[in-house]
Structure formats: structure tokens, C-alpha cells
């Protein structure tokens, strides 16, 4: 005699559903490891097979949870407000065989030799960690890196020359490092680079000409580099740029006219360049723009009128410009999803 349990219904989730639920937990790795692993054997197996965990630590001591056999599930580790990392942490890192991204900004007491040994890393952030060029040389040995953030280390042209040898990089942030024209010349060797953030250095027009040789760039942030009109002209010759930030670079109206020829550009930030109405009229010819920042540029009614003709704009910031009430009204009439202007400058 065969018994049939007609009232039975399987309420368990599929592995895919379990994984989707885990994905919604984001970076709450503690909850995943201390709670979700205990739900059932199925959940434990899904976590083992699929989880790619990220963690942020603000305590220099190794978290005890990290010792429970889950180290190989972590792909990204970040430290916040930690000024020293001891060898115990590096022992942990070496056991994280899936760790590909490490962010250790502002950690001043650190043995960078131990980082070089982490051969699986592809993304590294070591901002404000060292001013020692010898330490930078260690980073330069990491030929597997594709993304590097190494801002605020003040290593100058010598450090930039080392980074210029990391020809595999596709993304580089190297802001505030006292880099001049010689360092910029070294960086032009990075032929795989797609994104470069090099603000707050001392490139000048000569350095801009070197950077303009990076023809494959799609994103460039080059604020506060004293480029002038000549430097802006050089930057305008990068053919694949779609995102450009060139704030406070003394480009003036002539520089704005050069930038206006970049018909592939979609987002432009050019705050603080004194481009005036003449420069704004040139920018007003960039009909393809979707996002535009032009604060602190001495732009009046005529400039506002030109900008108001940009029909593809979705974001516009024109604060601290004497637009006049009529000019401000023209911008309001654009009905943009995001418009930032201030009326205290309008008469």
C-alpha cells in the first residue's frame, strides 16, 4: 500500500533566490557570517559557493569573526580612521585568496612590502600613506593592478615616473602629489588608461600636452593645475573623452572655446575659470552635453541665454554668477531635473 502525502508543500527557496536575498544585504558581512550561515545547510552552501563579501573596519585589531573559516569569501576590504596596521592583518590578507580590492587610505604606519605579496589584488587604494619614493617603488612592482588610487602622498615627479611604469593600469587617481611636467611626461606611457584623476598638481600647459597623448582616456579630472588656455587646447584634443573636469585651471574664454570643440563630451565641469559670457556662448554650442558645472565664471545674461539652449542637459550648476533675474528665469524655464542657481547674485 502506497501512502501519498497530498498536503505537503515545499516552502524552501531555490539557491538563486537565497543568493538574491544575500545580495540585498550589501556590505553587512557580519550578519551574513554570524546569522545567515545558521539558517540551514542550504544557506551555508550558497554562502560558501557564491558570496563575495566586502568589509569596512575602523578598529586596527583583527576582528575575531575573521578567524572562523570564512576568509576566502572576502573580495574587498576597506579601513576607515585606522592609522596603523600590524602584521596580524597581513597574515589575514594572505588567507583571503579571493581578495581583489584593498583600501588602506590614511594608514601611516604600514609595511608596504607585505602588500606587494598580495598577488591576487587588482584594485588598491593607498592615499595619504607615504611620501617615501622607495615605498612607491614597492607599489610599482604590483604589475597585476588595473586600478590604483595613490593621491595625497606628495612624492613628486620621481614618484610619478614609477607609476608611469605600471602600463597595465586602466584607472588611476594620483591627485595632490606635487607632480609637474616631468611627472606628466612619464604618465603618458599609460596607454591602457581609461580614467585619470590628477587634480591639485602643477602640470601647467606643458604637462597638459603630455596628458593629451593619452588618446584612449574617456574620463579626466584635471582641476587646479594652472593649465591656462594653451593647456585647455591640448586637453581638447583627446578624442575619446566623454567626462571632463577642468575646474580652476585659468582657462578663460579662449580655453572654453577650445573645449567647446569636444563634440563627444557628455559631462563637463569647468567651475572657477572666469570664462565670462564669451566662454559661455562657446559652451552653449555643445548641444550633446547632459551635465554641466559652470559656477564662479562671471557669466551674465548673454551667457545664461546661450546655456539655456542646451536641450539635452539634465543637470546644471550655475551658482555664483551674475546671471541677472532674466537670465536666471531662462535657466528655470529649461525645466531641468536638477538645476542649481542662487538668486542673491541676481539683480
Residue (of 212, 216, 153, 147) closest to 181 by Cα position: 212
**Which pLDDT value is given to residue 4?**
43
Q: Cell 540551514: give the residue.
A: 40
Which of 71, 95, 121 delimits the end of a domain?
A: 121
**What DSSP line would sit under 119-161, residue for residue?**
TT--EEE-TTS---HHHHHHHHT-TT-SEEE--S---HHHHHH
**pLDDT at residue 42 tops 80:** no
- Whether residues 150 and 221 share a domain: the answer is yes
Residue 28 in any domain: the answer is no
Q: What is the pLDDT of residues 193-213, one digit of tens each?
A: 999 999 999 999 999 999 999
Task: Identify the domain containing residue 89 by its residue range.
Answer: 35-121
pTM of the model: 0.87
Over its C-alpha atoms, the chain yields an Rg (Å, rounded) of 26
Residue 265 in any domain: the answer is yes
Q: What is the pLDDT of residues 95-147, one digit of tens each?
A: 888 899 999 988 866 778 888 889 999 999 999 988 889 889 999 999 999 99
**Which pLDDT value is given to residue 290?**
99
Beta bridge partners of 221: 197, 245
- Whether residues 112 and 176 share a domain: the answer is no
pLDDT more than 70, % of the chain: 81
Q: What is the pLDDT of residues 247-294, one digit of tens each?
A: 999 999 999 999 999 999 999 999 999 999 999 999 999 999 999 999
Q: How many structural domains are present in the chain? A: 3
Residue 133 in any domain: the answer is no
What cell does 261 get? 570643440
**Which pLDDT value is given to residue 297?**
98
Amino acid at each position: 500500500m502506497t501512502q501519498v502525502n497530498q498536503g505537503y508543500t515545499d516552502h524552501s527557496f531555490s539557491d538563486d533566490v537565497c543568493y538574491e536575498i544575500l545580495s540585498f544585504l550589501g556590505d553587512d558581512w557580519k550578519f551574513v557570517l554570524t546569522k545567515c550561515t545558521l539558517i540551514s545547510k542550504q544557506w551555508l552552501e550558497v554562502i560558501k559557493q557564491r558570496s563575495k563579501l566586502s568589509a569596512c573596519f575602523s578598529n586596527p585589531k583583527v576582528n575575531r569573526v575573521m578567524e572562523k573559516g570564512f576568509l576566502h569569501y572576502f573580495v574587498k576590504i576597506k579601513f576607515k580612521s585606522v592609522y596603523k596596521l600590524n602584521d596580524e592583518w597581513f597574515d589575514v590578507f594572505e588567507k583571503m585568496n579571493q581578495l581583489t580590492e584593498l583600501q588602506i587610505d590614511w594608514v601611516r604606519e604600514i609595511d608596504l612590502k607585505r602588500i606587494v605579496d598580495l598577488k591576487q589584488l587588482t584594485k588598491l587604494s593607498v592615499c595619504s600613506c607615504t611620501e617615501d619614493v622607495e615605498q612607491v617603488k614597492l607599489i610599482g612592482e604590483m604589475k597585476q593592478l588595473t586600478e590604483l588610487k595613490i593621491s595625497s602622498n606628495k612624492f613628486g615627479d620621481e614618484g610619478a615616473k614609477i607609476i608611469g611604469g605600471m602600463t597595465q593600469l586602466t584607472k588611476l587617481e594620483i591627485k595632490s602629489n606635487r607632480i609637474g611636467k616631468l611627472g606628466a611626461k612619464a604618465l603618458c606611457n599609460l596607454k591602457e588608461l581609461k580614467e585619470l584623476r590628477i587634480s591639485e598638481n602643477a602640470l601647467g600647459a606643458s604637462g597638459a600636452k603630455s596628458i593629451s597623448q593619452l588618446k584612449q582616456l574617456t574620463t579626466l579630472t584635471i582641476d587646479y593645475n594652472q593649465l591656462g588656455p594653451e593647456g585647455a587646447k591640448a586637453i581638447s584634443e583627446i578624442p575619446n573623452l566623454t567626462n571632463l573636469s577642468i575646474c580652476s585651471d585659468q582657462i578663460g574664454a579662449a580655453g572654453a572655446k577650445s573645449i567647446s570643440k569636444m563634440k563627444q563630451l557628455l559631462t563637463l565641469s569647468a567651475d572657477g575659470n572666469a570664462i565670462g559670457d564669451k566662454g559661455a556662448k562657446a559652451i552653449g554650442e555643445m548641444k550633446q552635453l547632459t551635465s554641466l558645472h559652470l559656477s564662479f565664471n562671471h557669466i551674465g545674461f548673454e551667457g545664461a541665454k546661450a546655456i539655456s539652449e542646451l536641450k539635452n542637459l539634465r543637470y546644471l550648476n550655475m551658482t555664483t554668477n551674475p546671471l541677472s533675474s532674466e537670465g536666471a528665469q531662462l535657466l528655470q524655464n529649461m525645466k531641468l531635473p536638477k538645476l542649481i542657481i542662487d538668486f542673491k547674485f541676481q539683480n
